[in-house]
Chains A and B, each alone.
Chain A
């Protein structure tokens, strides 16, 4: 699973105006308990702030949470901001109250995986682990 010496670094952020961070904190704790280093940015961040932070902190993966319904705008915005800041290689995962029909749209817009309220925590952690490892492998090739 996780490399003992070099823990995966992930950022968990909440873009936009919604202040419900129970889910984000739950995932942050679950990842910590799996040995991840989790940079938590708190609520009400702009896409630009999240992307700039992810790059400064050199994270392997960005995880976003949104419960406000604005995910179709906010999640791809983070992907774009990462791209303009030279972080196109950093995968972005998203979760929250996301209708079935939006999932494909988000994946098409560059999100690597989408989780909904029914997704088991173990699936989410596996996705994070895989995305982190792919990012490390990609990095090592360069």
Chain B
């Protein structure tokens, strides 16, 4: 183990915010120190932590809901980690990470650990670094980790796979957006949270969603469609109670275990792509050909695979 990873590891055990931030950067930037650091994390803490994914269309109130979840979790004395994901610009590679704005109430609470992450426009990679961030936060004493992301793209879907439980946040008045999402995200969501439920149309939306969730509802007696007004902290305690019950069910039924192992596979695949990507970019640059891309890909793999050492 390098001295740097040892310092970081000791810092994580002390819950030192600087060490947590640096450790996550080390992973995000693919630094040398990251590998032994990750290997040395306390697996017990990682197994025990509950990872909640929070997703939904822009404007549904994800950040506000996250903030009010933090507030309630803090009254229960839980140490909370938050990973807030925002998109990188495909053109400049830059990003504005603004989820913090709604979480600043907790900025001085040492038991609320927030990390903003940009998607960095890569296919693989984000899922891997977000997964590592989850483990680092768990090793730094977080008992519950919230991953917040806009639920539209493929990379966001992949991140949500890291979660043990996924909450889909909707709000009345979104109409067509919901239609568009029916095919994908509603299927992976464990809970539908109808936020801004003081707005007209909330009850109708709930009824629609309950229809969609009939089958999931049969698994347990836990209510899966809940209403909240996150800005007023309404419905949050009930939501957390349902989530906790469901978390217990996931453990006893063995589903949590299965989900974790699927997530690890997804992360592994991500790392494979992340490691291979630069080599094949290089190979393509050195060998420009106007060929059918699929044939060219096969040839490149054939030619280069033997030379690859990770």
Which residues of chain B have C-beta atoms less than 8 A from A55's C-beta? 17-18, 21
Interchain pairs with CB closer than 8 A, number = 97
Chain-A contact segment, one of B115-123, B153-161, B200-208, B256-264: B115-123
Is the CB of B104 closer than 8 A to any CB of chain A? Answer: yes
Q: Mind listing 13 A-B residue pairs with CB under 8 Å?
A: A2-B93, A7-B93, A7-B94, A7-B120, A32-B95, A35-B94, A37-B118, A39-B116, A41-B101, A41-B107, A52-B108, A58-B24, A58-B25
Which residues of chain B have C-beta atoms less than 8 A from A5's C-beta? 29-30
* A-B pairs with lowest CB-CB distance, top 4: A58-B21, A32-B94, A42-B101, A49-B107
Is the CB of B236 closer than 8 A to any CB of chain A? Answer: no
Whether the Cβ atoms of A41 and B17 lie closer than 8 Å is no
Main SS class of interface, B: mixed
Identify which of A7, A32, A35, A56 contacts B114 (C-beta below 8 A): A56
The answer for the CA separation of A48 and B110 in the assembled complex, in Å, is 12
Which residues of chain A have C-beta atoms less than 8 A from B113's C-beta? 56
Q: A6-B29, A58-B22, A86-B18 are in contact. Are A35 and B108 (CB under 8 A)?
A: no
Is the CB of A73 closer than 8 A to any CB of chain B? Answer: no
Is the CB of B74 closer than 8 A to any CB of chain A? Answer: no
Chain A contact-residue range equals 20 to 34
Whether the Cβ atoms of A40 and B114 lie closer than 8 Å is no
Whether the Cβ atoms of B21 and A7 lie closer than 8 Å is no
Q: A41-B101, A58-B25, A86-B18 are in contact. Are A48 and B108 (CB under 8 A)?
A: yes
Chain B contact-residue range equals 20 to 34
Whether the Cβ atoms of A31 and B115 lie closer than 8 Å is no
Identify which of B4, B18, B97, B107 contacts A37 (C-beta below 8 A): B97
Which residues of chain A have C-beta atoms less than 8 A from B29's C-beta? 5-6
Q: Most A CB atoms within 10 A — which of B16, B30, B96?
A: B96
The answer for the CA separation of A2 and B92 in the assembled complex, in Å, is 10
Whether the Cβ atoms of A34 and B100 lie closer than 8 Å is no
Q: A6-B29, A52-B107 are in contact. Are A38 and B95 (CB under 8 A)?
A: yes
Across the interface, name the chain A residue whose C-beta is closest to B22: A58
Q: A7-B118, A55-B21, A56-B113 are in contact. Are A35 and B101 (CB under 8 A)?
A: no
The answer for the CA separation of A58 and B133 in the assembled complex, in Å, is 13
Which residues of chain A have C-beta atoms less than 8 A from B88's C-beta? 7, 37
Is the CB of A53 closer than 8 A to any CB of chain B? Answer: yes
Whether the Cβ atoms of A41 and B93 lie closer than 8 Å is no
